Amino acid sequence: MSWTDERIATLKKMWEGGATASQIADELGGVSRNAVIGKAHRLGLKARPSPVKANDKKAAAKKPAVKAAPKKPAVKAAPKPAEKPIAKPAPKAEEPRAATAASSSVPSQPVPNPTPDLPKIVSVGPGGFLRQGPGDQQAPIPPAPPRRLVPAKPSPEIADKTSLLDLSDKVCRWPMGHPGEPDFHFCGEAVNPGFPYCVEHCGRAYQAQLPRGARRPPPPLPFGGPRVR
DNA sequence: CCCTGATTCGC
DNA sequence: GCGAATCAGG
């Protein structure tokens, strides 16, 4: 899989939007998390809260980072000394990551987010939809500035809609609305077997070639067209 | 263990 | 330029 302009655009958008490398890799398909990170660096858009880099200690004379690579025939020398045993307390990990929310509470606006500086969660669709048509440079899709930060948990409005995280091989990936909008989601219907869309949207995505002169107006392809995996 | 991003380095 | 292997922190 090569890095096309579209894929790079998707990478940038998601990376800058705070999506993790894994999410991006999964979304793009055909690439690994490492590939995404590597590409991001080559694009010059690194810098994001990294667990490792958060460290600010200045270890003056640090030993050369040697790796005792057991699998690589590297020419490295100076084996790494033995590790020191460390006691690890019971880890407490608990963070809902999937977008499942069936909350029974009324769809009222919960408490306003007191910390609006949370990482925004971006909605980037299949194929990377920065393009509206083959020719025209993305005329920035409608003014969707008045958008609120999407909370970490799905908001009530989209609780029952197919979000980016709900995409699978079995649901229709046809985008509904525009990315960035609070209610942006995906069709979510059962797919037409063998296609990324449901029957209805397959009809929109794939149209028979009509004889010359009898062409219909441009078919409304989704952003960038169907993904090819 | 899992996750994360950063870095290295052979290709 | 690419990305697997590796490192290293949470």
Task: Evaluate whether residue A9 is within a structural domain.
Answer: yes
Residue A119 lies in a domain: no
Distance A93 CA to B2 C1' (A): 9
In a domain, A21, yes or no: yes
In a domain, A120, yes or no: no
Q: Would A185 be classed as within a structural domain? A: yes
A54 touches strand C (CB under 7 A): yes
pTM score, two decimals? 0.41
Domain hosting residue A27, numbered range? 5-43
State yes or no: pLDDT of A216 exceeds 70.
no
Mean pLDDT, chain A, as a whole number?
Answer: 58
Backbone angles phi, psi at A8, to 5 degrees: -65, -40
Q: For strand B, is any atom closer than 7 Å to the CB of A91?
A: yes
Q: What one-character DSSP code corresponds to residue A190?
A: B
Confidence of residue A36 (pLDDT cuts 50, 70, 90): very high
Interatomic CA–C1' length for residue A5 and nucleotide C1, angstroms: 15
Interatomic separation, CA of residue A25 and C1' of nucleotide B5, rounded (Å): 14
Q: Which residue's structure tokens are 């028979």?
A: A208
Report pLDDT for A172. Answer: 76
> Is A121 among the domain residues?
no
Helix (H) or strand (E) holding A14: helix A5-17
- Per-residue pLDDT tens digits for A4-17: 887 888 888 788 87
Q: How far is the CA of A53 from the C1' of C1 (A)?
A: 25
SS3 A7: helix
Residue A41 (CA) to nucleotide B8 (C1'), in angstroms, measures 13
| Chain C: bases < 7 Å from a protein Cβ | 1-10
> Any atom of strand C under 7 A from CB of A110?
no
Which strand B nucleotides have any atom less than 7 A from protein CB atoms?
1-10
Residue nearest to nucleotide C8 (CA to C1'): A52
Q: What is the pLDDT of residues A132-159, one digit of tens each?
A: 333 334 444 455 444 454 444 444 444 5
Q: Give the DSSP per-residue string, A84-96.
A: PP---PPP-----
CA–CA gap between residue A186 and residue A164 (Å, rounded): 7
Nearest Cα residue to A7 out of A44, A39, A34: A39
The helices-and-strands tally (H runs, E runs) of chain A is 4, 2
A52 CB contact with strand C at below 7 Å: yes
Q: How far apart are CA A32 and CA A199, in angstroms?
A: 31
Asked whether residue A149 is assigned to any structural domain, the reply reads: no
| Smallest CA–C1' distance to C2, residue | A35
Nearest protein residue to B5's C1' (by CA)?
A50
For A52-85, write each residue's pLDDT tens digit.
Answer: 655 444 433 333 434 333 444 433 333 434 444 4
Phi-psi region of A103 (alpha: psi -120 to 50; beta: other; left: phi over 0): beta
pLDDT higher than 80, residue A21? yes
Residue A117 lies in a domain: no
- Strand C close residues, chain A 180-219, CB < 7 angstroms: none
Count of structural domains, chain A: 2
Q: How far apart are CA A221 and CA A199, in angstroms?
A: 15
